[in-house]
Structure 1
Amino acid sequence: MTLVAVAHGSRDPRSAATVRALVGAVRTVSPGLDVREAFLDLSEPKVGDVLARLHAEGARTAVAAPLLLGSAYHARVDLPGIVAEAAERFPPLRVSVADVLGTDPLLDAVALDRLAAAGADPADPELGVVVAAVGSSHPPANDAVARLAARWQARHGCLAAPAFASAAKPDVPAALARLRARGARHFAVASWFLAPGLLPDRVLGQVREHAPGAPVAEPLGADPRVAELVVRRYHEAVSAAARSA
């Protein structure tokens, strides 16, 4: 069976490079597993093209594993639609869709490590941490980020608030204002993004304008723990497909 790691795609070449590095990390975590990268939009190869290639190679089963942090439109509509279309075009090929990466503790740990590497101490009670994410028109996806920020505040002692780069409120300036009102004396930004790109750059620009000097963590990237979670989502999908067969 093949794992098709499906990323959103971006015009920023750093994004695709990060996805390819993550796919390499997945191969390292699970040697022998056939892993292909694919993109929903803006980057190549597209998901449909990868599935067509698998069909041409004689593959019968695959798992499309979304490299997405939230269950928003791309995970709920775009990817299942592409998989359903492939099922009609290539009847012998059965493709399961894995769950999104989500706010898993593995990613939680990576994000906190990135924050510490940027010079922030989440145990500082005067620190206001903005947990910056993509944002979605699907409220449950945003709620998951808000719960993540609340967990960090409860567990680590800092003040924390979510912020969204698009499609949802609050944005970074509003989140900073809320943290100031709650008593934060200085700030840091945690990056709940998988890879660099337009939206992380937008967040960085807003931080430089509204909280100059505040450290901004790097995206999660191709950390082995992210790769481990991708492989886990793959195995979960394989098990679910076996139960429903």
Structure 2
Amino acid sequence: MTLPTLVACSHGTDSAAGRAVVTTLAKRAAELVGAPLAETFVDVQHPQVDEVVAALEGPGVIVPLLLSPGYHTQVDIGRAAAAREDVVATGTLGPHPLLLDVLEDRVRAAGLDHSDRVVLAAAGSSRPEAIARVSDVRAELAARLRVPVTAGYAYGASPTVADAVAHARGTAGRVIVASYVLAPGHFANLIANAGADVTTEPVGTDPRVAEIVAERFREGVARLSCTH
């Protein structure tokens, strides 16, 4: 049986390094599941998700290469999926235990000490559901690391990453920023320039994230099988 197309839908970026990370992630996931791949975007880059879904030959599963739900998942991706009966959209990549594994491993690799403080740095959103998901990840990461972890946002929510770093510095030996964005680009740059002693890499550079994409794809295939 021919599998549906994996429609890997990311935000889009002007960063060449960010584009390379996202493309590598999408290709790795498609190889894991053995499905045809179509890369698409909701902003900045083309082709956009509506036109890719409209042009699909056969069924498709849209996997948002986004860490939290928000406007793009509800509006852009939701609209594209609703346009065809043989297309479904899955949940976002986070929260997920593998993402927490990546965050924890990278913070510990920075030489985490009991006197250090950690800021979980997310892209940010005005949507409460996105903030709630980041809050869940923050709580889980704090439980794993056993040091105080606060959240900061690059855009669209408060506190900013810079404010969270400044606040943490008053009680810390060092401040480590755990970068909770997918790939290099505008948000990652804002996070890297927030004044922390250490800033980890965007999570999408870890090969384990492709396993999450593959898992989401399989969930979407199961939903398609139940409805057709």
Task: Specify if TM > 0.5.
Answer: yes
Q: How does 1:64-75 map to 2 (within 5 A)?
A: 64-75=62-73
Aligned to 2:180: 192
Q: 1:232 aligned to 204, 208, 215, which one?
A: 215
TM-score where L is the length of structure 1:
0.85
Tell me, in whole angstroms, the C-alpha distance in 2 between the residues paired with 1:188 and 1:38: 33
AA of the residue aligned to 1:21: T
Q: Is the 8 A contact 1:152 1:160 kept in 2?
A: yes
Asked if residue 221 in structure 1 is aligned to residue 204 in structure 2, the reply is yes
Tell me, in whole angstroms, the C-alpha distance in 2 between the residues paired with 1:197 and 1:47: 20
Tell me, in whole angstroms, the C-alpha distance in 1 between the residues paired with 2:44 and 2:136: 30
For the residue of structure 1 that corresponds to 2:199, the secondary structure is coil
Q: Is the 8 A contact 2:49 2:76 kept in 1?
A: no
Tell me, in whole angstroms, the C-alpha distance in 1 between the residues paired with 2:111 and 2:203: 16
Q: Greater Rg, structure 1 or structure 2?
A: 1
TM-score where L is the length of structure 2:
0.91
- Residue 52 of structure 1, CA deviation: 3.6
Aligned to 1:112: 104
Aligned-pair identity (%): 36
Residues 10-51 of structure 1, C-alpha deviation per residue, up to 9 Å, x if partnerless? 122222211111112113322x31122111121122223322
Q: Is the 8 A contact 2:30 2:214 kept in 1?
A: no
Q: 1:120 to 1:171 in 2, by over 3 A?
A: farther
AA of the residue aligned to 2:130: A
- Residue 179 of structure 1, CA deviation: 2.3
Residues 214-241 of structure 1, C-alpha deviation per residue, up to 9 Å, x if partnerless? 1110001243311111111111112123
Tell me, in whole angstroms, the C-alpha distance in 1 between the residues paired with 2:216 and 2:163: 34
Residues 112-142 of structure 1, C-alpha deviation per residue, up to 9 Å, x if partnerless? 223344x242xx2211111000111111211
Q: 1:242 aligned to 200, 206, 225, which one?
A: 225
Runs of 4+ in 1 over 4 A off after TM superposition: none
Residues 199-220 of structure 1, C-alpha deviation per residue, up to 9 Å, x if partnerless? 110111222xxx4xx1110001
Structure 1, unmatched stretches of 5+, are 88-92
Q: Is the 8 A contact 1:3 1:33 kept in 2?
A: yes
Q: 1:204 aligned to 179, 182, 192, which one?
A: 192
Tell me, in whole angstroms, the C-alpha distance in 2 between the residues paired with 1:149 and 1:66: 21
Tell me, in whole angstroms, the C-alpha distance in 2 between the residues paired with 1:222 and 1:22: 8
Residues 41-84 of structure 1, C-alpha deviation per residue, up to 9 Å, x if partnerless? 21122223322432xxxx22111110010011111111111333
AA of the residue aligned to 2:31: T
Tell me, in whole angstroms, the C-alpha distance in 1 between the residues paired with 2:111 and 2:60: 41
Aligned to 2:86: 94
What is the total number of aligned residue pairs between the two structures?
A: 225
Q: 1:135 aligned to 105, 124, 140, which one?
A: 124
Q: 1:10 aligned to 13, 31, 34, which one?
A: 13
Q: 1:205 to 1:222 in 2, by over 3 A?
A: closer
Q: CA RMSD in A?
A: 1.8
Q: Is the 8 A contact 1:29 1:224 kept in 2?
A: no
Aligned to 2:25: 22
Structure 2, unmatched stretches of 5+, are none
Tell me, in whole angstroms, the C-alpha distance in 2 between the residues paired with 1:178 and 1:172: 10
Q: Is the 8 A contact 1:131 1:190 kept in 2?
A: yes
For the residue of structure 2 that corresponds to 1:132, the secondary structure is strand
